[in-house]
Chain A
Amino acid sequence: MKKIEAIIREERLNAVKKALEEKSYFGMTVSEVSGRGKQKGIPLQWRVGEYRVDLLPKIKIELVVLDEDVDLAIEAIIRNARTGETGDGKIFVLPVEHVVRVRTGDRNENAI
């Protein structure tokens, strides 16, 4: 089992969610996060002049999938999150030790 953490643009969330759903990856946790990468930040305006905001709002999607599904899920995310501009985000894949469903106590593959 692997956990996929995808940091994407806010406006790409719905497309990514839909694509994952079509491939039957329904469960996920989504949060609003702030971060920076190569995009560095954007200038905003005060009454006069500008100031730089270098932590930009992004969306983080977390989902856990079977090892053999990782590439499929990543492909679905990339296809829908990519615009080609800096700031498209990043995907991290991490090993998962256990998964437990709180309601039933089911474990691992049965709990995903």
Chain B
Amino acid sequence: MVNTGDTAWLLMSSALVMLMTPGLALFYGGMVRRKNLLSTMMMSFACLGLVALLWVLYGYSLSFGTDHSGIIGGFNFLGLTGVGQEPSSVYATTVPHLAFMIFQAMFAIITVALFTGSIVERVKFSALLVFSALWLTLVYVPVAHWVWGSGGWLAKLGVLDFAGGAVVHINAGVSALALVLLLGKRRGFPQDSMEPNNIPLVVLGAGLLWFGWFGFNAGSALTSGGLASSAFVATNTAAAAAAFTWMVVSWIHRRPTILGTVTGAVVGLVAITPAAGFVPPLAGIPIGAVAAVISYYGMVFLKLKLGFDDSLDVFACHGLGGIWGALATGIFATLATNSAGADGLMAGGGMQVLKQLLGVIVVGAFAFCLTWTLGKLVDKTIGLRVGQSEETVGLDLSQHGERAYGGLLR
């Protein structure tokens, strides 16, 4: 039976999650140099075109179609066959199947957009599109099935992932790491200063991400009642705790930057994602605060100590934040919050942390190996990186024939 309240909330949530991808474009775009602003935004926005098509054609079917050995979904929903106005018998049984399908589409879109942040300012656009299609098909789709698909093997083992800590954030974060290893650092990194071209854009983008994340997490309740409200409050609390913590840590080191504060908010949102509907709302405070500290010092280690050019810190934000969030789900979850979840460590259930750890290792290792292999393949055939002069002149001009700001003199 279709419930109108649930349907209204899930459709609204789908729209909220959709807005996160342009939000991400602003968030990422503001942080790069002026000559790469449009290309960076395009890497996110192009996913709204590419991934949404692949999703309705076959992505949804292979993720959520009839299970085959826990590994992959079937072809039964190919081209949305059998996905209609009536609810699915398995997923979100109180809303039209189409609403559940489009909600899931938005997750696939932003996950692909997320990893692009690690390789901005040097990746060839055509190669990125081909890689993204391959990655969606061979990395996102199987992982989504394992964790969220009916019969998926990680789901059957009891790995909890409320809104995509593993499927979205660990997946994208670890893949970002592999891509940086393949592409290498930007020309001039780290000796040249790579000054963000427009921090206000970053702030606006972070605001849209925070806003959209209510759809991401509270929408993942798939109903519009108490569980959605609980996830909503947990989400906001974690974002607040992480933003505040990052501000303080940055202040201890020198000054409280807004770039750091909004980064903290995003990291807190990442960490609460797998936990949002399994933990009591106030668990958002330790989850968010610890996420900010881990991510901050992860960045210090990766970028400053190792000189690793994960340009927009995708691994430190989404990889580390996602891993912490997955483990924190195993620590703070209670059956009182969600009877479909589990009791975590704090509620006396030590096993859940181990299950979460298994999920982290499996998804992380799979994403890394597949991304490396697919990236290598694309590099050998198309070439992942632009030429030296294209990189120097900037990707806006060399890849897209546009520039962000016009003017009489420039």
List residues of A whose CB falls within 8 A of some B CB: 44-53
Contact = CB atoms under 8 A, between A and B. Distances in A.
Interface stretch (B115-123, B218-226, B296-304, B383-391): B296-304
A1 B263 CA distance: 56
A45 B195 contact: no
A48 B299 contact: yes
A82 B303 CA distance: 40
16 contacts: A45-B250, A45-B257, A45-B259, A46-B259, A47-B257, A47-B260, A47-B263, A47-B296, A47-B299, A48-B253, A48-B300, A49-B300, A49-B303, A49-B304, A50-B254, A51-B195
B193 A51 contact: yes
A44 B313 contact: no
Nearest to B255: A45
Contacts of B253: 48
A45 B261 CA distance: 12
B194 interface: yes
Contacts of A50: 254
A87 B137 CA distance: 57
A46 B257 CA distance: 8
A45 B313 contact: no
A47 B304 CA distance: 11
A58 B268 CA distance: 39
Contacts of A46: 196, 259
Interface in B266-304: 296, 299-300, 303-304
Interface footprint category on B: 10 to 19
A50 B254 CA distance: 10
Given A48-B260, A49-B300, A51-B194, 13 more contacts: A44-B193, A45-B257, A46-B196, A47-B257, A47-B259, A47-B260, A47-B296, A47-B299, A48-B253, A48-B296, A48-B299, A48-B300, A48-B304
A56 to B, nearest CB: 12
A46 B296 CA distance: 11
Contacts of A44: 193, 195
B193 A48 contact: no
B313 to A, nearest CB: 6
B194 A45 contact: no
B193 to A, nearest CB: 4
A45 B254 contact: yes
Interface centre among A45, A52, A53 (most CB of B within 10 A): A45
Contact of A53 (B195, B257, B303): B195
Contacts of B296: 47-48
A50 B260 CA distance: 12
B229 to A, nearest CB: 32
Contacts of B250: 45
Contacts of A49: 300, 303-304
Given A47-B263, A47-B313, A52 B257 contact: no
A52 B255 CA distance: 15
Interface string B337-364: 0000000000000000000000000000
B393 to A, nearest CB: 20
Contacts of A47: 257, 259-260, 263, 296, 299, 313
A41 to B, nearest CB: 9
A43 B320 CA distance: 28
B303 A48 contact: yes
- Which residue, A46, A49, A51, A52, has most C-beta atoms of chain B within 10 A? A46
Contacts of B299: 47-48
A53 B259 CA distance: 17
4 interchain residue pairs of minimum CB distance: A51-B193, A48-B299, A48-B300, A49-B304
Interface in B167-193: 193
B260 A45 contact: yes
Nearest to A44: B195
Contacts of B196: 46
A50 B299 CA distance: 12
A52 B259 CA distance: 16
A52 B303 contact: no
A19 to B, nearest CB: 29
Contacts of B255: 45
Contacts of A45: 250, 254-255, 257, 259-260
A48 B196 CA distance: 13
